[in-house]
A and B are shown apart, each in its own frame.
Chain A
Amino acid sequence: MELIQFIDIDLTGALLLILIGFIGGMVSGFIGSGGAFVLTPAMMTLGAPGIVAVASNICHKFPKALVGAIKRHKYGQVDVKLGLVMGVFAELGMLYGKQVMTSIKDRFGAVGTDLYVSVIFVIVLAIVGGFVYRDYRILKSHPHGEEHRLTRLARWVQSVHIPGTMVYFPGAKAKISVLFVAPMGFATGMLASTIAVGGFIGVPAMIYIFGVPALMASATELVIAFIMGLGGTLFYGLEGMVDLRLAMLILLGSLFGIQIGAIGTTYVKDYQVKLTMAVIMITVLFSRLFYIPGYLSQLGLIEPLPASTVKTLKMAGDGVLALALVLGAVTVLTALIRGMAEHRRQHEALSENQGIAE
């Protein structure tokens, strides 16, 4: 028998969660990916066990993903078939990942899931943050970017013909074996069940391995996110791990923030978005890193640390996370305010010139 505690939410706590959701939403809208990589650690910092934070985050995301998928489908950006096929395998990955998480909870308790989620966060954010930073440098030196070109890997994947497994995907404009799609979908779902962000695998896989254009990949990811989010809420809900209050307070702030973030991107250059994303990812990584010794100590996997050391490390982790949130909020709001002012100036100058011409 295992004690599973949801955090107490008073008015201050509720306002804090709304604020965190708001900033997470802004970051999410700005960088065009789920803000869950900020939200899951923030929920854990407030005291939610890792498994509850992940489950509640998955619950807050899936209806948003559905709305986003429908919107972008209207613009013709979604490869529904690829989304559904990857979604089915992502669901299996989600189920397997949930099993891993619950096994850890059953064996090591809620703190075991804290450690598991934190370690995966650190590894994933280091890898993805590194790639995003590389993209930033490339985009900065070639501001106009390159047209969508197939990677060598995507060309090879599209050239492989395995009878009985080939499916035509309109997004890739090619037939691809399901045997390539299945593991990518599975890994996407498994990661989502662990840190509530599957897009870190799904989107790059679609772009670099299947040859789907970036815009279409991010839109198709919403279909996958909805399928696995719905499944994830069901699987984790059946374990009694979804804290609806937590999920809905985050949603309350997030839906306000996401539109500000999305509008903010239209006023900045692509490389600025990438830099923001990389900086926030690395900052969040360090916030989780500070917690790991405390979890190891609690589990008896290292020599017990003095309570004062654990407290100091926790404070450092909280501080770094707060820094990440402030950094995200300031970056997006500054971009938006400056961009809107400049846009207004350009608009006025254009109107004046037109007046003179007439």
Chain B
Amino acid sequence: MAEARTRWTTTLLWGVAVAILYWALFHFQDDIVRLAHTTVDACLVVENGKELYYHKPTPETCAAKGGTLIKGNWLNVLVPIIAAFVLSYVHGAFTSMFWDTLGLKAANKKK
């Protein structure tokens, strides 16, 4: 009984960690999208309140669109790589515990 409770508590804690990470991902989604687009030089154009990113612009083409030229930073590429590792690890651990806790198991022997 105590063992089952510990298992549920651990699963729940990992679940909370997953929830926090996904909340952060969506709370900062505009920044994440901006970082992705500005890994390369980009031209930010706001149309009807919506941010549009044109890649690899020249100052002239960007000015023609009335946009803001943003210099790219290649280091932004580390964001998806690190985030993918962290989320995959935390969420992977959680789902594994989740199904174990629910008692979903493989058959001992293949039919």
Smallest distance from the beta carbon of A68 to chain B beta carbons, Å? Answer: 10
How many B residues face the partner with a CB closer than 8 A? 49
Interface of B is mostly: helix
Whether the pair A242, B111 counts as a contact (CB closer than 8 A) is: no
Whether the pair A3, B84 counts as a contact (CB closer than 8 A) is: no
Provide the bound-state CA to CA distance between A262 and B72, in Å: 42
Whether the pair B32, A245 counts as a contact (CB closer than 8 A) is: yes
Q: Mark B79-91, 1 if CB is under 8 A from A, else 0.
A: 1110111011101
Provide the bound-state CA to CA distance between A4 and B42, in Å: 10
With a cutoff of 8 Å between Cβ atoms, the chain B residues found around residue A262 in the complex are 106
Whether the pair B39, A239 counts as a contact (CB closer than 8 A) is: yes
Task: Report A204-258 residues with CB < 8 Å from chain B CB.
Answer: 230, 233-234, 237-245, 247-248, 251-252, 255-256
With a cutoff of 8 Å between Cβ atoms, the chain B residues found around residue A59 in the complex are 80-81, 84
With a cutoff of 8 Å between Cβ atoms, the chain B residues found around residue A268 in the complex are 111
Residue of B36, B99, B105 touching A243 (CB-CB under 8 A):
B36
Whether the pair A233, B80 counts as a contact (CB closer than 8 A) is: yes
Closest residue to A238 on the B side, CB-wise?
B77
Smallest distance from the beta carbon of B65 to chain A beta carbons, Å? Answer: 8
Provide the bound-state CA to CA distance between A255 and B38, in Å: 30
Whether the pair A259, B104 counts as a contact (CB closer than 8 A) is: yes
Provide the bound-state CA to CA distance between A352 and B25, in Å: 53
Closest residue to B95 on the A side, CB-wise?
A255
Residue of A1, A260, A266, A269 touching B54 (CB-CB under 8 A):
A1
Residues of B bordering A, CB below 8 Å: 18, 22, 25-26, 29, 32-33, 36-40, 42-43, 52-58, 61-62, 65, 72, 74, 76-77, 79-81, 83-85, 87-89, 91-92, 95-96, 98-99, 104-107, 110-111
9 other contacts beyond A4-B53, A63-B89, A242-B77, with CB at 8 A cut-off?
A1-B57, A1-B58, A63-B92, A238-B39, A240-B37, A240-B55, A242-B80, A251-B91, A260-B104
> Please, could you name 26 A-B residue pairs with CB atoms under 8 Å apart, sorted by A?
A2-B56, A3-B52, A4-B37, A6-B36, A59-B81, A233-B84, A237-B76, A238-B39, A239-B55, A240-B37, A240-B38, A240-B53, A240-B72, A242-B36, A242-B80, A244-B79, A245-B26, A245-B29, A248-B83, A255-B91, A255-B95, A260-B99, A260-B104, A266-B107, A266-B110, A339-B107
